[in-house]
Every structure is written in structure tokens, then in C-alpha cells.
Amino acid sequence: MTDDDNALLAKAGELPEGPGVYVMRDREGMEIYVGKAKNLRRRVQSYFRKRDRRRKDLALAENIADFEYVETDSELEAFLLESRMIKDLQPRYNVLLKNNDAYPFIEVAWGDDFPRVRTARRKENPRSRYYGPFVGAGDIKGALAALQRIFRFRSCQRDIDAGNPRHFLGRGCLNYHLKRCAGACLGAIAKDEYRRRVSGLCRFLSGQKKELVEDLRKEMEAAAAELRFEDAAALRDVVESLQALNRQPEIDESLAPFNPRTEPERGLGALKEALGLDDLPRRIEGIDIANLMGKEVVGSLVSFLDGVPFKEGYRRYRIRTVDGQDDFASIAEVVRRRYGKMQEEGTPFPDIILVDGGKGQLGAAAAAMREVGAQPKALMSLAKAEETPFLAGRPDPLPMSRSNPGLMILMRVRDESHRFAQHYHHILRRKAMFGEG
């Protein structure tokens, strides 16, 4: 290492270990690269340790003479700030964002009565507001998912005219029932209130989080003083959610979603054909049971959207009504608790419900469904040994080969439900062993 590298490495060692954005400069003081990091110290140090350098960073590292950084409250804010700084500074090593058509923007369709929010490749609508561009569809999808939980904007393609009652639906979509959308298509939120929420989103995307939180607090206090307690509570929830971004924990790798080994769209198309469904099965839920010698029996439910894990839909169940080891009765309890509640609330059912096991487990799940008066679109089981899929109401297994992409999707759901059940089971065993909780 050169003396310059040693000096820069020492300077990097003084950086905070939280999220933020760093700016690399050359010997003329020009900005040559902007990057984001979950851990600023670790990421910036990697440029000056030869053993840690990534191949794509070699040419850049040789030209770094100094750096600056901006600490952020969360990884989400680092992601948004990186995009704004690249757009403003145009560093020469950020080649990925120079062709704006190749990378997505966040589009807020402000010209709509109830503006929808989505990703877009080009700035095509003069009445929309655009933020970005951003590198990586995965990052932008995760950012929008986090922001949708806070601001509850709609992402659907429906045209909703505030003055036309025929534009309002009778039932909400999945996002509404998961409390990720305010229900504009139901008429559950007034036009002005919805646009106020989306205006807050736009301020956040523009980097005005602190000012936004301050203004929301003032609105909350005013609403409480005027005895508008529901409005005050709604504002409080938004403020708390924005502040919670500062306290996001490290990702638990044991719960991190995996990348399926088959193309999701192909797999879903194969399932549609095999099950005779009218549409692609966008949402799949998987159920599994874990126990040790009949003790600490737990159930897991995992949710997949468009063929990939949807972590907000995961649920854990500590079995209450079953003594000893009885997988059939335990599966029946999970089914009653999960789908009985959905039936009562009128929540849309998933397109496919998959039980880990064979015909016996499937029969127990089907009986529990009848008990709560539920009629799922497709109730299935998948046994591990032979990877044999069964469909409720059909005596013979479905003719799906091991190479069928639809079966691969089912195997991923089954394996994830098993892993999630085992993870919860280990937590309970550890608590029992060490007297925790």
C-alpha cells in the first residue's frame, strides 16, 4: 500500500458505521464517484485495502485522492440521496446512471385525482413528478415497499375519478387489506386527504424528511387541540413510521429471502396451466409445522408475490389446541386461525395455498377449510420425498415433472415455509432452555 492509501485508510477508519453516501474526489478536487453504503466505514475502507477491493473498483481506487461523506438516518434515505447527488454532480465513474433511459424513475402521477405511484423508464407524462433515476430494480422495489407502508399510496392502474361514484369498487385489493393502500378505489379516503399523503411522499423523495416530520407534528397537535382525534392518530402513525426508519435493524440473514432458481413468470404460467386457473397465480401461501418430540409445536405461514418471498405476509403460530405430536391437527389449527379470520373479514384469499406434506395433511387442511366456510381457489400439498403435488378434490397427483418450472416454484414455497417454521421453533426452544422471555 502507498502512503496515500494508508492516509486515506486511516481517515476512513474515523467514519461512522451507519448508513450514508460517500463522494470520491481526484487530485484536482473533482467528484469522480458517488456511492451509498449500509456501513460507511467498512465500505470506504474497502477502496484502500487491496485485499478488499472489488474488481470493478480497481481503476477508480487508483484515482482517489480524497473523499467526503454524508451520514443518513437509514439505508432508504442513503439510496434516495445517492440518486440525487449522482444527478447533480455527474461523476465520471458513475457510468450506470448516465443513460437515464436504462434505469427506472419513481413516477408520481400528480395529474390524477388520486395519484398513483410506480416505476417508469422514461419521463413521458408532463403532469407527473419524477424522482431518480435509480440503479437496480431490486433497490427501488424495496424502497417503494417501505414507503407504501408509511404513506399508503396506490400503485394500481385503475382510473379513479373523485366525482364519479361508479369508479369506486366494492372490495379492496390485497394492498388495502394489508394496510399498504388507503383504499382510494373504495372511496375510503377523501381526495384532499389522499393528495396530502402523496405530497408528503414527494417531500420525502426530495430529501425534506426533517421538515416534513416537523410539519406533521404541528398538524397532529392542531388536530388534537380541535378534538379531531382520528386525524391526530393518523398523523401520529406517519410520524412514528418515518422516525422508525432511523432504527431499522440489520437484516437477519436466516430470514432473508432467496432468489428462486427458476424464472418466476415461467413458473407461474406453468402453475396456471396445471391448475386450470383463469389468471396467473400471483399470490401463494405455504404452511408447515415444526416440533421436537411433540414439544414446542409451531406453525409457519409464508407468502410469495409474483414468485418471490413477500416478507410482510409471513406469520407464525404457536399451536394451542393440540397435545403432543399431531401434524394433521396442527395444520388444521393454522388453517382455521388464518383463513377463518380472512373469511370473516372478507379479505381476498391467495391464489394457491400449499401445505407441506402428502394427502393426509391436505385432507386435514381441506376439512378445516370447510369448517370455517372457506373456499380457496387452489388448495395443494407437496410431499418432500417424491416431490409429488396433490390438489384438493383430485385423488391422483398432478402430472408435473421435476423440471416443471411450476413445481420448482412450489418447492421453493414449501422449503421456505419449512425453514421459517424451524427458525421459530429454535427461538422457542432457546427461550425455554435459557428461561428467556
Nearest of 321, 302, 328 to residue 421 by alpha carbon: 302
In percent, how much of the chain has pLDDT > 70? Answer: 83
53 Cβ partners below 8 Å, 6+ apart? Answer: 46, 47, 61
Q: CB–CB of 103/96 below 8 Å?
A: yes
- State residue 170's pLDDT score: 60
- State residue 183's pLDDT score: 87
pLDDT single digits (tens) 329-368? 999 999 999 999 999 988 889 999 999 999 999 999 999 9
Examine residue 249 and say whether the peptide bond preceding it is cis (omega within 30 degrees of 0).
no
Nearest of 209, 218, 219, 215 to residue 244 by alpha carbon: 209
Supply the DSSP string of 320-340, one letter for each residue.
Answer: -S--SS-HHHHHHHHHHHHHH
Instruction: State the cell numbers at 211.
Output: 421538515
Q: Tell me what the mean pLDDT of segment 162-183 comes to.
A: 75
- Beta-sheet strands, E only, within 26-148: 31-37, 66-71, 105-108, 117-120, 129-131
Going 138 to 139 to 142 to 147, the CA torsion angle's sign is negative
Query: Which range is most confident: 4-13, 113-122, 135-144, 228-237?
Result: 113-122
**93, pLDDT greater than 60:** yes
- Beta-sheet strands, E only, within 84-123: 105-108, 117-120
3-state SS, residue 52 = helix
The sheet carrying 129-131 orders its strands as: 117-120, 105-108, 129-131
Domains of the chain: 3-98 (3.40.1440.10), 110-207 (no CATH), 263-434 (3.30.420.340)
Residue 45's CB is within 10 A of a number of other CB atoms, namely: 18
Q: Tell me what the mean pLDDT of segment 242-265 comes to.
A: 49
Statement: the pTM of the whole predicted model exceeds 0.75: no
**148, pLDDT greater than 70:** yes
Considering only 371-375, 394-398, 420-424, which range has the smallest mean pLDDT? 420-424
Q: How far apart are alpha carbons 72 and 37 in whole angstroms?
A: 10
Q: How far apart are alpha carbons 186 and 117 in whole angstroms?
A: 17
Q: How far apart are alpha carbons 299 and 425 in whole angstroms?
A: 9
- State residue 160's pLDDT score: 84
- State residue 252's pLDDT score: 33
**433, pLDDT greater than 70:** no
**281, pLDDT greater than 80:** yes
Residues in the chain: 437
pLDDT single digits (tens) 285-319? 999 988 754 567 888 999 998 888 887 788 888 88
Q: CB–CB of 116/157 below 8 Å?
A: yes
Mean of pLDDT over the chain: 83
Considering only 54-68, 74-88, 373-387, which range has the smallest mean pLDDT? 54-68
Q: How far apart are alpha carbons 289 and 325 in whole angstroms?
A: 10
Q: C-alpha distances in angstroms, 411 versus 11, 276, 388?
A: 49, 19, 10
Instruction: State the cell numbers at 199.
Output: 405530497
Phi-psi region of 356 (alpha: psi -120 to 50; beta: other; left: phi over 0): beta
Instruction: State the cell numbers at 198.
Output: 402523496
pLDDT single digits (tens) 7-55? 889 999 999 999 999 999 998 888 899 999 999 999 999 888 876 666 6
Nearest of 334, 166, 142 to residue 256 by alpha carbon: 142
